[in-house]
Structure formats: structure tokens, C-alpha cells
Structure 1
Amino acid sequence: MRPIAGVTETYTVIIRFDTTDHLKSWMASSERARLISKVEPLFAGTDDFYISSGLDFWFTPAGAKAKIPKRWKQYLITWSAIYPLALGVPYFVTPVLRLFGVSESLLLTTLAVTAVIVFLMVYVVMPRYTRLMQRWLFN
């Protein structure tokens, strides 16, 4: 990902692996070392990397050097964000579905409600909420 003008000068590359063992194997491979040494003259700093799994990305502030809050804090923050959404979103989504003629299907309603909740969590709630709770999360 290219840097965001005026915010960061860091390029980010996201690589996903199917297992932790495959990740470790790649990180220790001679092929990776060869590729890194080939582009190293282009680096402003060092080959800095961060390994994340699960929902850790919600809890890592920009520029952090792999500082992740305790799991129980991640749990409480995530739960406290999802709970009000799980209560409130159905009251808004269900009438909209009926307005558009979607039948009263538990499957379709749940699909739409969870899609809205996840969207709100990823794009609206968690970025702001983790910033607001940052001091507590990282102490």
C-alpha cells in the first residue's frame, strides 16, 4: 500500500500465509533474504515487519512496533463495541429490508444485519474506539 500523503511515508506490504509454519519458513528462507538484499538500497530504514493474526489489526496504532494489548482487553473492547450494534442495527436494517420487499427470512435478515455490523466495526467503530481507548488498551 502506498503511503498516505501528509500522514505517513511508509509503504506497507501485506502477505498472508495459510499456516504459521509456512510464514516462519518464508521469513527464514534464503529466497526472502535475497529479495530483501536486492531492494535494501531503496529502504529509508531497515526491513521492518510486523506479524499479526486474528483481529490484532484493530488494536495496533499506526506506526506501532508490534505492541499489542492483552487479549482480555481486546475481548472487552470488541465485545463492548459489538453489543450495542447487535442490539441497535436490527431495528434499522429490518425495516429497510421490508421497504425493499425482502421477505421476512431469518437467514436474509441475519445476513444483512451481520454485514452492516461488520462494516460498521471495521470502518467506523473500531478505528475510533481503539483510538479513544488507546491509553487503557496499552497500559
Structure 2
Amino acid sequence: MQETIKTGVVVLSRDPGDFDDLSYKQWHNELVTLAKQHDGLIDVDLQKPLEGVQDQWVQVLTYDTIDNLKALLDDADYRSAVESSEERFGTPVIQQVVANSKPSALPVTVVISQLVKPGCEEAYQEWQLDMDLAAKKFPGFLGTEMIKPLPGVQNEWVVIFRFDSARHLDDWFASDIHKDLLKQAEPFFEKVHVRRVGRGFEDWFANAAGEGESGPSQVRMAMVVLLALYPTVMLLTLFVSPLMASWGLPLSMFVSNVLSVVILTWAVMPLATRALSFWLDQETGSGTFVTILGGTLIVGLYLISISLFIWLTG
């Protein structure tokens, strides 16, 4: 049985107005920066309006306890940011606070790439709307987003589904209505690719700005993981492994791996992602200068780490 927890959730909703997507996403990131200053923030989400499914912008901030959420709601800077946003965007914001008792589970996302046959685009969009409306009725549905093809860049239609847990997502996929809708759409597609987004390395990069976006590139994530992993493993090997020499390799290796994961997840990676957020964020890190600066810094830290451990083991 899953452990039952009571989380604190604040939901902000706003009607579309005379503002663009980028400006609203920037404001969302400003709000998340304020939220991160309080303990217990475990999840954020930004959902765009989707015709026929969701009429408003929706922001969700989830804290591990009601008390930690209350600390945010009592923050004068947070209240000012919410109140001033009405003048900034020209439409009122509605705030709802929920004490949410539910099985602890992490949201999951499925990214579906669909190559639609020429001439079937209009019928496909009508079918996708039916799919969205059906999914909305299922427990745990958080939102969906459609990304249209970009000529010369992306040929597929991309649809993103979000559910609050793997179990609810699986229930939707296994449902008869989902299977029936898929069968109806078979004439539209030349190719379909489904990718289930887990909560692996991406969770380690929650401190990089730009929540609700796809996050840092895999290359940058891998470089930062290596930067954090190498000194962690070296320090454990030099100072902890000798204490477990008599335990045998299988047991000592298991304990060492447990310590590595704990140290990376709750200590090293949060520090590393905060320090390198200027490079990891898709918007601030996309420029040539910042890209080169961040890459050079990472490589320099690699060399410093190697030199330090050569000196320690010499």
C-alpha cells in the first residue's frame, strides 16, 4: 500500500488576454523562483489554454505539507506578485488552495509523435479533440498539449499527455474508449511513436529555471551529472570504502551506491543545478556566449577535480 500524505496545493487560473505565451511563461518562472525560497516545494506545473478542453491558463504549485504552503501564501512578495499580475496581464487571477490527501505519486508524462498522412490533417485534429475530451474524464488527468508540425524542422504532430500517477496513466491507456479511439485513427497515421517520460535525471534538474518546459538538453544534463558523480564516487572510494573492506565486494559496493544516490539527490545535485541554472535553462542558456561559458566552466571543473584527486592519491 502506498503511504498517504497530505500535500498543500495552490492553483492559479486566469482567462487568456492580450499577452503572449512567452511573457506568461516568464511570469510563471518568476513565481516559481519565489516558491523555491520556501521549504517543501515538490512539484510545479503550467498548463496553456486548449480550445475545447481547457479555457484558462492554469498554474499549480504543490508543497509537501500544508504548513509549508502557508509559508508561501503568507509571503508578502508572493502576494504582491499575484496581485500585480492582474494589471500586468489585464485579466483577474483566481487562486484556489487545496489540502490534498492522496497516495504519494509523481506525475508522469507521455509524448506521442504522429506522422499524419497528407490530406488527413483536419480529420486528425477533430479526432485529437475527441481524444482530449475523453482523457479529461479519467482520474488523475492533469492536462494535454498539442504541438503542430514546423516545416523544415518537425514533420510530426506531437501530443503531450500528463497524469498525476503511473497507475492513472495506465488506466487511461488500458481503457476501452482509448483503444476504440486509436482504432478510429488508424487511417490517419503513417507512423506513431510513444515515449513515456520518467522521473529520472529530470528530477535532479528541478532547480534549473523553466519549469513546464522540456528542460535542459540530455548532453548538458549528462555533463552536470558527471561533474557531480565523479567527486562523489572518488571521495567515497578514498574515505568510506576502506572502512568496508572486510564486508566483501557485493555488500560494500551496494552500500557505496546507496550513499552515492543519497548524496547526489539531496545534496550535490541541488547545489550544482542552482549554480549552473544560467546554463541549464533553455532561455538564458541558449545564447552562444552562455553556451561556451557554461561548457568551458564544466570542463575546467572536470580538470580541477581530476588534478585534486591525483594530488590526494599521489
What TM-score results when the alignment is normalised by the length of structure 2?
Answer: 0.31
Q: Which has the larger radius of gyration?
A: 2
Task: Decide whether the 8 Å contact of 2:220 with 2:280 is kept in 1.
Answer: yes
**C-alpha displacement of 1:61:** 2.8
Structure 1 residue corresponding to 2:138, chosen from 31, 40, 50: 31
Matches for 1:1-139 after TM superposition, within 5 Å: 1-2=7-8, 3=63, 4=68, 5-7=70-72, 14-15=105-106, 20=110, 28-32=135-139, 53=198, 54-61=200-207, 64-67=210-213, 68-97=215-244, 103-138=246-281, 139=285
RMSD: 3.9
Q: 1:111 to 1:8 in 2, by over 3 A?
A: farther
Higher relative contact order (CA 8 A, sep 6+): 1
**C-alpha displacement of 1:108:** 1.1
| Bigger helix share | 1
| Bigger strand share | 2
Q: 1:104 to 1:31 in 2, by over 3 A?
A: closer
**C-alpha displacement of 1:29:** 4.5
Aligned length: 119
Unaligned runs of at least 5 residues, structure 2: 1-6, 9-62, 75-96, 112-130, 143-161, 165-195, 286-314
Query: 2:163 & 2:138 partners in 1: Cα distance?
Result: 17
Unaligned runs of at least 5 residues, structure 1: 37-47
**C-alpha displacement of 1:7:** 4.3
Query: 1:115 & 1:59 partners in 2: Cα distance?
Result: 20
Aligned residue for 1:40? none
Task: Decide whether the 8 Å contact of 1:97 with 1:109 is kept in 2.
Answer: yes
The C-alpha deviation readout for 1:78-134, integer Å capped at 9, x for no partner, is: 011101111111222223335xxxx24111111111111111000100111100110
Q: 1:125 to 1:16 in 2, by over 3 A?
A: same
Query: 1:137 & 1:62 partners in 2: Cα distance?
Result: 6
Task: Decide whether the 8 Å contact of 1:93 with 1:112 is kept in 2.
Answer: no
What TM-score results when the alignment is normalised by the length of structure 1?
Answer: 0.64
* Paired AA for residue 93 in structure 1: V
The DSSP-based 3-state class of the residue aligned with 1:124 is: helix
Query: 1:15 & 1:106 partners in 2: Cα distance?
Result: 34
The DSSP-based 3-state class of the residue aligned with 1:31 is: coil
The C-alpha deviation readout for 1:44-84, integer Å capped at 9, x for no partner, is: xxxx9899522201112388432301110001000111011
